[in-house]
């Protein structure tokens, strides 16, 4: 055993007290789904965790009816201060059950316990705390003197940060006085259902939060339901486009958090060792399953070889394996389908002439795994430089001047995130002004906070989540109604 080899340190799953099957959470109760139940599996072992109900169109309708009833009878009439107290209760319950939620999330999603324990779940609690305090202060949210809730929000979240994305959606919606029907991703429904139990423990009025599970058809039925007032979707640009098209001409408000192809720009005066850590957290955090990932590395030409050497040396020390092991850096890819997609695009990189390097790590026999991979000699026309891979694959390009860096960074239909690494603040600010992206991390990457608005330019979607701007996405006031934003 070398000094970098650690003994296994798995987190025990004994804290989990999972049921054999989970129903839909509608009107404050777990009810049977009408569609065929499906298994949610652990991507690191391919073993079934539990069975999940599938909502069909009639179930979706029941959930919307429950949300509408709770909105008109209870939630919209309750003073903001009382709504806020429910959110504070939920935040506390999440903190109390944080280890259990972290383990369930790692088991269901495949991401390392280090991330769910230290990033996902603390942020979930923080999100509810932050928006709890807004519930009785809506007139300060900057949308006018008489802000009003929109009504029923249909919310569809992805599998990359299952419970965190739920918190991003539900906390501001409830604080603003809306009721919600939320559909978690097909492959990661577990923590949303534990959250439903938390809503029961918090004695949240029935129907304020409804959780329905299922695949794409369930989500389509939800966002296409005629009695919703708001759609909040996080997921692929292709699905987002379809939602925008289907809702054209309606009064339904829309927020879309879609794909990205973020540029992480390293100038030659950057603190290189910190930049290496930033590159890694930019693209290898959460196995690269991050819409705002820094998947395109733009390195100033004169430091390219040095950065590559240090990056490869650092990547070689990352530990890939059991997501529940406290020493694991890289967990499992969330599903077979996603692994196939990553493999296919990565193969196109080689076919198009880029040079592939993968970290020398042993992949477990069972489960879905992809080693941290870096492509050099990448051209801007390559698929790996244009398409969102949503996996641990980094495409490296070079630049000589700041103008070239900006031109290359902006050369994408996406505009979600970007990173800048330089010790020169004046350069950082000038580059940040010119980048067409909604979130820019300077000398850091992939930081999230409930007080900080998040969302994209261009085809990365519209609307913001987080901060008072995230609250405004669930409020209306004044003459400017509707709009695809």
- The set of catalytic residues is 257, 291
Q: 12 vs 98, 102, 176, CA distance in Å? A: 14, 11, 38
The only residue of 21, 34, 343, 444 in contact with another protein, by rule CB under 8 A:
444
462 scored as a contact of another protein (CB under 8 A): yes
Contact 185, 150 (CB under 8 A): no
Site string for another protein, 402-421 (x = CB under 8 A): -----------x-x------
Which region among 167-175, 226-234, 322-330, 445-453 touches another protein (by CB under 8 A)?
445-453
Rounded to 5 degrees, φ, ψ at 100 are: -60, -45
Contact 198, 93 (CB under 8 A): yes
Applying the rule CB under 8 A, the residues between 17 and 36 that interact with another protein are none
**Shortest distance, position 240 Cβ to another protein, whole Å:** 7
**Shortest distance, position 95 Cβ to another protein, whole Å:** 14
Q: 40 vs 45, 99, 153, 185, 338, CA distance in Å? A: 12, 20, 26, 10, 15
In 3D, which of 132, 125, 86 has the Cα closest to residue 102?
A: 125
Nearest to another protein of 274, 355 (CB atom): 274
The only residue of 124, 126, 332, 339 in contact with another protein, by rule CB under 8 A:
126
The only residue of 128, 266, 469, 475 in contact with another protein, by rule CB under 8 A:
469
Which region among 165-173, 237-245, 302-310, 353-361 touches another protein (by CB under 8 A)?
237-245
Please tell me the distance from the alpha carbon of residue 407 to that of residue 403, in angstroms, as a whole number: 6
Nearest to another protein of 92, 356 (CB atom): 92
Applying the rule CB under 8 A, the residues between 344 and 403 that interact with another protein are none
156 scored as a contact of another protein (CB under 8 A): no
DSSP string, 67-123: HHHHIIIIITTS-HHHHHHHHHHHHHHHHHTHHHHHHHHHHHH---HHHIIIIIHHH
The only residue of 454, 471, 473, 475 in contact with another protein, by rule CB under 8 A:
454
- DSSP 8-class letter at 397: E
# chain residues binding another protein, by CB under 8 A: 54
The only residue of 198, 441, 473, 474 in contact with another protein, by rule CB under 8 A:
441
Contact 457, 415 (CB under 8 A): yes
Contacts of 455 (CB under 8 A, 6+ apart): 255, 257, 416, 438, 439, 461, 462, 463, 464, 465
Tell me the angle at which helices 121-134 and 80-96 cross, rounded to the nearest 10 degrees.
Answer: 170
Please tell me the distance from the alpha carbon of residue 38 to that of residue 214, in angstroms, as a whole number: 8
Rounded to 5 degrees, φ, ψ at 208 are: -70, -40
Nearest to another protein of 184, 438 (CB atom): 438
Which region among 40-48, 155-163, 195-203, 430-438 touches another protein (by CB under 8 A)?
430-438
Nearest to another protein of 51, 484 (CB atom): 484
484 scored as a contact of another protein (CB under 8 A): yes
The only residue of 67, 190, 194, 258 in contact with another protein, by rule CB under 8 A:
258
Q: Where does this chain bind another protein (CB under 8 A)?
A: 126, 142-144, 237, 240-242, 244-245, 248-249, 256, 258, 413, 415, 425, 428, 432, 434, 436-444, 447, 449, 451-455, 457-462, 464, 467-469, 478-485
């Amino acid at each position: 055993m070398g000094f970098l080899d650690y003994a296994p340190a798995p987190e025990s799953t004994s804290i989990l007290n999972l049921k054999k099957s989970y129903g839909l959470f509608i009107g404050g109760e777990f009810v049977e789904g009408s569609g065929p139940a499906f298994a949610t599996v652990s991507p690191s072992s391919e073993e079934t965790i539990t069975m999940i109900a599938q909502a069909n169109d009639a179930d979706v309708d029941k959930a919307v009816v429950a949300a509408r009833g709770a909105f008109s009878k209870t939630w919209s009439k309750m003073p903001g201060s009382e709504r806020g107290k429910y959110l504070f209760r939920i935040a506390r319950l999440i903190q109390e059950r944080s280890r259990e939620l972290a383990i369930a999330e790692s088991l269901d999603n495949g991401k390392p316990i280090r991330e769910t324990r230290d990033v996902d779940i603390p942020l979930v609690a923080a999100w509810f705390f932050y928006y709890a305090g807004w519930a009785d202060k809506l007139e300060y949210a900057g949308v006018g003197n008489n802000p009003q809730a929109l009504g029923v929000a249909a919310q569809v979240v992805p599998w990359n940060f299952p419970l965190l994305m739920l918190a991003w959606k539900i906390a501001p919606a409830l604080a603003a006085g809306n009721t919600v029907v939320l559909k978690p991703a097909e492959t990661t429904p577990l923590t949303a259902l534990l959250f439903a139990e938390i809503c029961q423990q918090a004695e949240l009025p029935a129907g304020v939060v409804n959780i329905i599970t299922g695949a794409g058809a369930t989500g389509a039925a939800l966002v296409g339901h005629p009695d919703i007032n708001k759609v909040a979707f996080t997921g692929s640009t292709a699905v987002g486009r379809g939602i925008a098209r289907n809702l054209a001409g309606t009064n339904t408000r829309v927020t879309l958090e879609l794909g990205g192809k973020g540029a992480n720009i390293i100038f030659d005066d950057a603190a290189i060792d910190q930049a290496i850590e930033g590159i890694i957290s930019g693209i290898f955090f959460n196995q690269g399953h991050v819409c705002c990932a820094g998947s395109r590395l733009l390195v100033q030409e004169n430091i390219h070889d040095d950065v590559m050497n240090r990056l490869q040396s650092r990547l070689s020390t990352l530990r890939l394996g059991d997501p529940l092991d406290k020493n694991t850096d890289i967990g499992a890819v969330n599903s077979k389908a996603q692994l196939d997609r990553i493999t296919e695009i990565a193969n196109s990189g080689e076919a198009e002439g880029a040079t592939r390097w993968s970290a020398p790590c042993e992949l477990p026999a069972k489960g879905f795994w992809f080693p941290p991979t870096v492509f050099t000699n990448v051209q801007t026309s390559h698929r790996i430089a244009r398409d969102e891979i949503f996996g641990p694959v980094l495409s490296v390009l070079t630049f000589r001047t700041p103008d070239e860096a900006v031109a290359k960074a902006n050369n994408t239909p996406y505009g979600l995130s970007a990173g800048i690494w330089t010790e020169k603040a004046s350069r950082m600010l000038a580059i940040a002004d010119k980048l067409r992206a909604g979130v820019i991390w300077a000398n850091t990457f992939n930081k999230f906070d409930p007080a900080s608005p998040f969302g994209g330019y261009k085809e990365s979607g519209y609307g913001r989540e987080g901060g008072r701007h995230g609250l405004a996405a669930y409020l209306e006031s004044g003459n400017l109604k509707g709009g695809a934003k």
